[in-house]
Amino acid sequence: MTRIPLSLIINGQTFDVLAEPHRTLLDVLRTDLGLIGTKENCLEAECGVCTVLLEGAAVNACILLAAQCQGRAIVTIEGLAAPGQLHPLQQAFIDHGAVQCGYCIPGMILAAKAYLDENSEPDENGVREALAGNLCRCTGYQRIVEAVLSVARTVRASPEAASHRTAR
Amino acid sequence: MSAGDRKEERVSFDYHEPTTLREAIDLGARFGGDARFLAGGTDLMVQIHRGRLSPRHVVSLQRVPGLDAIEVDGTVTLGTRVTHRRVETTAGFQGALRALVEGAEVVGGHQVRNVATVGGNIVNASPAADVVVVLLALDTTLTCLGPSGERTQGLDSFATAPGVTALRPGELLTRVSFPRLASRSATAFLKAGRRRAMEISIVCVAARLTLDADVERCRDVRIALGAVAPIAMRARAAERYLESRPLTDETVREAGRIAAAECRPIGDVRASARYRALLVGTLVPRALNRCLERIRNPAS
């Protein structure tokens, strides 16, 4: 099978890879680029652990062909904050005890980020609805929702925290 | 070996990314049944990974201009690549056409709705496709472009069996259109599932109602049902019953009874056939009443 050259813009950095046309973005992220923060599970767009941001919108990387991402900006959990730092959402998940096994959390945080970027005044129902495509078997969701809402409050209160938002 | 590796072995295809509609149609003509057009991929990629579809060629529509347009004049036209998310957030759909928003916003999670398209939903021909049921109630016409030119077809005759449509090999569904609603009209969509999100409908119902000048009698009505027949269907006997009748508690209940009698549900893992028919009998009157409320009080 012919491989095609792709330039993928991931977390602001351009990666040139050769990939067969049928390979998914998830597979290329994990296998070729070692970005294993994006998780693999159902492979059918049901569970949300593979969520990444594609031009700012949350999408499932398991059903997205890498070839479809040519030249389009992708953010994975690795690129959410500068190296060695935590994004306010990541800090809030820690502070609220919103993480248990952790497998769903990268996707959960990216879905939450896409939602907060579009909704400056989120409410609990909105957060729950925005995270409906991210399944968690440990936490019961309550603390995750609380963590997301706490960030929304912080961002409103402090322009400095707002600067953590990724440019769209 | 991960599940991903096992699936990978079965899958291989060539990828094409046409930048004009002409180029896309030429690829469709060249590869015919060996090609699949790719829009959001939420159905196609899953079918490919499951081994149910194995196209030799995948033709992505993402760089074909114009397919994601929404136009409103005498008719409302949606390009095939308009996503569910776009439908949800289009200001012009928040009024009388609210059923479109109600149908779109219950599909999958945000990740799915950000990419899943109206055209893909129609071509996939699931009997439970929520937006398709709404479009049926709106008298939607489809425009298909293929090697032998462009043609139109009513949505009500497009799907012929689960997953099977009248789309010809190499042909592309380019847009869907429906007439703007007359005055004194409203729409409503209701869905029954075990949970609110990420759920395939057990039953869904869409209604479009236009009242007479007296704002009491039915001038024109459409009732569409999902997940109660091999394809999304119109409840035509219930529609005929309501024509020219006043909308009262009694007549909307009777319309529900007629619709429940004319649907052809199966029993499966999600619900029994009898429960589905019962839901139709409940949801049809509820959808009609919601239309009635919306006509009488447009702000509701």
For residue A168, the model assigns a pLDDT of 38
Distance CA B77, CA B179 (A): 9
Q: Does B72 touch chain A (CB under 8 A)?
A: no
Among candidates A146, A45, A51, A41, which has minimal Cα distance to A108? A51
CA pseudo-torsion sign B194, B199, B205, B211: positive
Q: What is the rounded (10 degree) CA torsion for B122, A130, A102, A150?
A: 170
- Is the pLDDT score of B6 beyond 80? no
pLDDT tens digits, residue range A111-159? 999 999 999 899 999 999 999 999 999 999 999 999 999 998 876 666 5
Report the residue from A2, A45, A129 with minimal CB separation from B112: A45
Banded model confidence at residue B57, pLDDT cuts 50, 70, 90: very high
For residue B9, the model assigns a pLDDT of 55
For chain A, the residue count is: 168
Note whether A101 and A64 are same-domain residues: no
Q: Which chain A residues are within 8 Å of B14, Cβ to Cβ?
A: 2, 21
Q: Does A134 touch chain B (CB under 8 A)?
A: yes
What would the two tokens of residue A20 be? 């067969």
Kindly state the average pLDDT of the residues B43-49.
95
Banded model confidence at residue B100, pLDDT cuts 50, 70, 90: very high
pLDDT, mean over chain A: 92
CATH 3.30.390.50 assigned to domain B185-296? The reply is yes
Banded model confidence at residue B291, pLDDT cuts 50, 70, 90: very high
Among candidates B179, B180, B187, which has minimal Cα distance to B294? B187
The secondary structure of A115-126, three-state, reads: HHHHCCCCCHHH
Task: Say how many CA atoms lie within 13 Å of B280 toward its Cβ.
Answer: 30
Distance CA B251, CA B59 (A): 49
In DSSP terms, B70 is beta-bridged to B78
- DSSP E strands in B28-123: the ranges are 35-38, 57-60, 70-72, 75-79
Please say which residue of A79, A111, A142 terminates a domain: A79
- Chain A nearest C-alpha distance from B236 (Å): 35
How many domains does chain A contain in total? 2
First to last CA, chain B: 55
pLDDT tens digits, residue range B204-233? 999 999 999 999 999 999 999 999 999 999
Q: Does A106 touch chain B (CB under 8 A)?
A: no
Q: Does A130 touch chain B (CB under 8 A)?
A: yes
Note whether A115 and A49 are same-domain residues: no
Q: Answer yes or no: is A94 within a domain.
A: yes
pLDDT tens digits, residue range A15-26? 999 999 999 999
Sequence ranges of the domains in chain B: 12-59, 70-179, 185-296
Note whether A68 and A112 are same-domain residues: no
Banded model confidence at residue B2, pLDDT cuts 50, 70, 90: very low
User: Are residues A10 and A33 in contact, defined by beta-carbon separation less than 8 angstroms?
Assistant: yes
Task: Say how many CA atoms lie within 13 Å of A115 toward its Cβ.
Answer: 30
Q: Specify the DSSP class assigned to residue B262.
A: H
CATH number for the domain that contains residue A158: 1.10.150.120
Among candidates A52, A62, A71, which has minimal Cα distance to A8? A71
Please say which residue of A79, A97, A115 terminates a domain: A79
Residue with tokens 């024509």: B243
Distance CA A69, CA A54 (A): 8
Distance CA B234, CA B214 (A): 26
Residue by residue, DSSP assigns chain A as ---EEEEEEETTEEEEEEE-TT-BHHHIIIIIS--TTS--S-SSSSS-TTEEEETTEEEEGGGSBGGGGTT-EEE-GGGSS-TT---HHHHHHHHTT--SS-TTHHHHHHHHHHHHHH-SS--HHHHHHHTTTS--SSS-SHHHHHHHHHHHHHHHH-HHHHTTSPP-
CA pseudo-torsion sign A21, A106, A112, A143: positive
Cβ burial, residue B37 (10 Å; 0-12/13-18/19+): buried
Which domain covers residue A130, as residue numbers? Answer: 88-162
Q: Does B183 touch chain A (CB under 8 A)?
A: no
Banded model confidence at residue B10, pLDDT cuts 50, 70, 90: low
Cβ within 8 Å of residue A145, ≥6 positions away:
A124, A127, A128, A131
Note whether A128 and A147 are same-domain residues: yes
- Is the pLDDT score of A5 beyond 70? yes
Kindly state the average pLDDT of the residues B53-66.
96
Q: Specify the DSSP class assigned to residue B87.
A: H
Answer yes or no: do A51 and B15 touch at CB < 8 A.
no
Distance CA B294, CA B284 (A): 15
Note whether A26 and A74 are same-domain residues: yes
Q: Answer yes or no: is A168 within a domain.
A: no
Q: Answer yes or no: is A66 within a domain.
A: yes
Select the residue from A50, A65, A74, A129 to test the B interface by mutation, using most B Cβ atoms within 10 A: A65
Report the residue from B17, B49, B109 with minimal CB separation from A134: B109
For residue A158, the model assigns a pLDDT of 63
pLDDT tens digits, residue range B145-166? 999 999 999 999 999 999 999 9
For chain B, the residue count is: 300
User: Are residues A76 and A109 in contact, defined by beta-carbon separation less than 8 angstroms?
Assistant: no
Task: Say how many CA atoms lie within 13 Å of A158 toward its Cβ.
Answer: 10
Banded model confidence at residue B1, pLDDT cuts 50, 70, 90: very low
pLDDT tens digits, residue range B162-202? 999 999 989 999 999 999 999 999 999 999 988 777 778 89
For residue B235, the model assigns a pLDDT of 98
Distance CA B206, CA B224 (A): 5
Note whether A151 and A120 are same-domain residues: yes
Note whether A49 and A95 are same-domain residues: no
Q: Which of residues 277-296 of B touch A (CB under 8 A)?
A: none
Q: Does A71 touch chain B (CB under 8 A)?
A: no
- Is the pLDDT score of B13 beyond 90? yes
For residue A167, the model assigns a pLDDT of 39
- Chain A nearest C-alpha distance from B111 (Å): 4
| Maximal CA-CA distance, chain B | 69
Orientation of helix A142-157 relative to helix A105-118, angle to 10°: 40
Note whether A61 and A105 are same-domain residues: no
Cβ within 8 Å of residue B162, ≥6 positions away:
B125, B126, B127, B230, B231
Kindly state the average pLDDT of the residues B265-278.
92
For residue A159, the model assigns a pLDDT of 53
Q: Answer yes or no: is A167 within a domain.
A: no
Q: Does B5 touch chain A (CB under 8 A)?
A: no
Cα B151–chain centre separation: 19
For residue B11, the model assigns a pLDDT of 79
CATH number for the domain that contains residue A27: 3.10.20.30
Answer yes or no: do B115 and A64 touch at CB < 8 A.
yes
For residue A1, the model assigns a pLDDT of 66
CATH 3.30.470.20 assigned to domain B70-179? The reply is no
Q: Specify the DSSP class assigned to residue A32.
A: I
Instruction: State the CATH architecture for B12-59.
Output: 2-Layer Sandwich (3.30)
- DSSP E strands in chain A: the ranges are 4-10, 13-19, 51-54, 57-60, 73-75
Please say which residue of A57, A79, A101 terminates a domain: A79
For residue B201, the model assigns a pLDDT of 87
Report the residue from A48, A68, A132 with minimal CB separation from B62: A68
Among candidates B233, B48, B197, which has minimal Cα distance to B111? B197
